[in-house]
Structure 1
Amino acid sequence: MRNDDEQIKTILNSSRVIAVVGHSDRPSRVSYQIAQFLKKRDYIIYPVNPTITLIDEQICYPSLKEIPEPIDIVNVFRRSEFVMEVVEAAISIQAKTVWTQIGIYEANAAQKAIKSGLNVIMDRCIKVEYLRLLA
């Protein structure tokens, strides 16, 4: 898991479709704010949260497997103990990258994702990295 600037820049530049796992429907939540930030930068965002059906009139999917197109980045807003479950789902849909936010790192899940051919970025905020490397 390199997580160097060039790898992150390549992932951000080559990706267009992002699933936000743990997306909240509350504007005060970080997951909502970051999804809005990414939408404004022309990424296609798919909210994923089994407890919500709509977010700003957009369908919120109960799981990754219901999303109707291939996913470039699975951006995870779940606690560390749930990361393995998300990684397994990301592997099953053949996502390209799993990205967890600051403070979220799960070594076993990272290794499983890497062994399955996924890029793994953990313990980094996608918005912070975008602003630092691409703005």
Structure 2
Amino acid sequence: MQDLINEFISQKRFAIVGATDDPQKYGNEIFKNLRSRGYEVYPVNPRLKELEGVKCYPTLSDIPVRVDVVDIVVPPTVAEEVVKEAKRLGLERIWLQPGAESEAIVSFCQENGMKVVYNVCVMMN
């Protein structure tokens, strides 16, 4: 999995699905961490207009550019729909943060030719 992680972190544009303005939540920490490391970060949260001056998008489909990695920080029930949307958009790199993964989601990604990282936090790499 380390080769896959290396491929993911060498990319430029990350969508953070579950980005939040709550500083106690991982969706906020991951957003800040990736921005501080120089990535283009596109927060996805239908309840927010912006996050720290960065426009938020209600869904992956609303992001005006093609992202390289979809980093998912939502519960598995929501993550399942996000992964299906990513597939429809032709996005192939999915990073499931701890707590976002399920066997069904990982299987869906693998069966549909999507690259998936799970059980590893993006901030640890």
Q: TM-score, normalised by structure 2?
A: 0.92
Kept in 2, the 8 Å contact 1:71–1:96? The answer is: no
Aligned partner of 1:78 in structure 2 is: 74
Map of 1:133 onto structure 2: none
TM-score between both structures, scaled by the size of structure 1: 0.86
| Structure 1 residue 28, shift from structure 2 partner | 2.8
Contact 2:75 2:100 in 1 (8 A): yes
Partners in 2 of 1:71 and 1:95 — Cα distance? 7
Query: Residue type matched to 2:86 in 1?
Result: A
Alpha-carbon distance between aligned partners in 2 of 1:26 and 1:7, rounded to the nearest angstrom = 30
3-state SS of the aligned residue for 1:114? helix
Q: What 5-or-longer segments of structure 1 have no aligned partner?
A: 131-135
In 2: Cα distance, 1:10 partner to 1:22 partner: 22
Of residues 73, 85, 90, the one that matches 1:89 is 85
Aligned match of 1:23: 19
Spell out structure 1 runs of 4+ moving beyond 3 A. Answer: none
Aligned residue identity for 1:107: E
Q: May I ask how many residue pairs the two structures share in their alignment?
A: 125
Instruction: Give the corresponding residue for 2:110.
Output: 114
- Summarize the Cα distance change of 1:105–1:122 in structure 2 as closer, same or farther, 3 Å threshold: same
1:83-126: CA deviation from partner (whole Å, max 9, x where unpaired):
21010011111112111112332122222222222111122211
Q: Which residue of 2 aligns with 1:36?
A: 32
Partner AA of 2:34 in structure 1: L
Instruction: Tell me the distance in 2 between the aligned counterparts of 1:105 and 1:82.
Output: 10
How far apart, in 2, do the equivalents of 1:42 and 1:94 lie?
24
Identity %: 26
**What is the aligned counterpart of 1:12 among 5, 9, 18?**
9
Corresponding residue number in structure 2 for 1:48: 44
Across the aligned residues of Structure 1 and Structure 2, the Cα RMSD in angstroms comes to 1.3
AA at the equivalent of 1:110: V
Deviations 1:7-65 (A, max 9, x none): 2112211x111000011012232211111111111110000001111111211000000
